[in-house]
Chains A and B, each alone.
Chain A
Amino acid sequence: MIEVFLVTGMLIATTILICLYRAVFGPGAFNRVAAASVIGTKTVVLVVIVGYIFERPGAFVDIALLYAILNFLGTLIFAKYLERGEVCSA
């Protein structure tokens, strides 16, 4: 099965590369933030797959959970900042 995990990981990395085009060239801040968020959610799955490749999924699933929560918070904070021009009103 390790070949399957390797191929799946490489294909997910390819989709990340496709989304990287929007993060670098995409017109405006919104496209870049959306690209960052999408790359983050894809990375969560990639981390889990890498855990299975290294045959230590237990540790890597914890990292993936933490990364998912951080990515969600980051997306919300970026959206709020772009909407209001400030993250936290005094």
Chain B
Amino acid sequence: MFSLDLIVNGVTVALFVIGLFFMFSGAIGFLRFPDFYTRLHATGKCDTLGEILIIVGLIIYDGLSPLSAKLLFLSFFMLLANPAGTHAMMRAAYVTGVRPWKRGEARQ
């Protein structure tokens, strides 16, 4: 009744749903937050975890194979590269003097 395929597919779908929730909240935060710095808060964190969860779902769907090794490497690369890119953009904005938003101002 409960075959292994069914369990694997269910776990994959669950990981997809959680990942998509994080990706959507990241996108909504990117749209709604008032200035550049807070927008990077939304994308730098939510997108990384959402994408990694989707890729982990694909790894579980695929089982033990060379393809899963590649996908695992891809997720590790994202875990390292996304914060580094966020940090680089943050630093560029701060050095060139983009003014951070304070509570009570109009959104930029």
Contact = CB atoms under 8 A, between A and B. Distances in A.
Interface residues of A, number: 42
Contacts of A31: 36, 39
Interface string A42-86: 101100110010000110011011001100100110111011000
Interface string B53-69: 01100100110000100
Contacts of A11: 20, 23-24
A8 to B, nearest CB: 5
Contacts of A28: 36, 98, 108
B54 A45 contact: yes
Do most interface residues of chain B lie in helix, strand or loop, or is the interface mixed?
helix
A61 B36 contact: no
Given A12-B20, A80-B88, A18 B54 contact: no
B30 to A, nearest CB: 6
A82 to B, nearest CB: 5
Contact of B84 (A1, A8, A72, A80): A72
Interface of A: 1, 4, 8, 11-12, 15, 18-19, 21-22, 27-28, 30-31, 33-35, 37-38, 41-42, 44-45, 48-49, 52, 57-58, 61-62, 64-65, 68-69, 72, 75-76, 78-80, 82-83
18 contacts: A1-B9, A8-B54, A11-B23, A18-B31, A28-B98, A28-B108, A30-B92, A34-B89, A37-B43, A38-B30, A57-B67, A58-B67, A61-B71, A64-B74, A65-B74, A68-B74, A68-B77, A79-B88
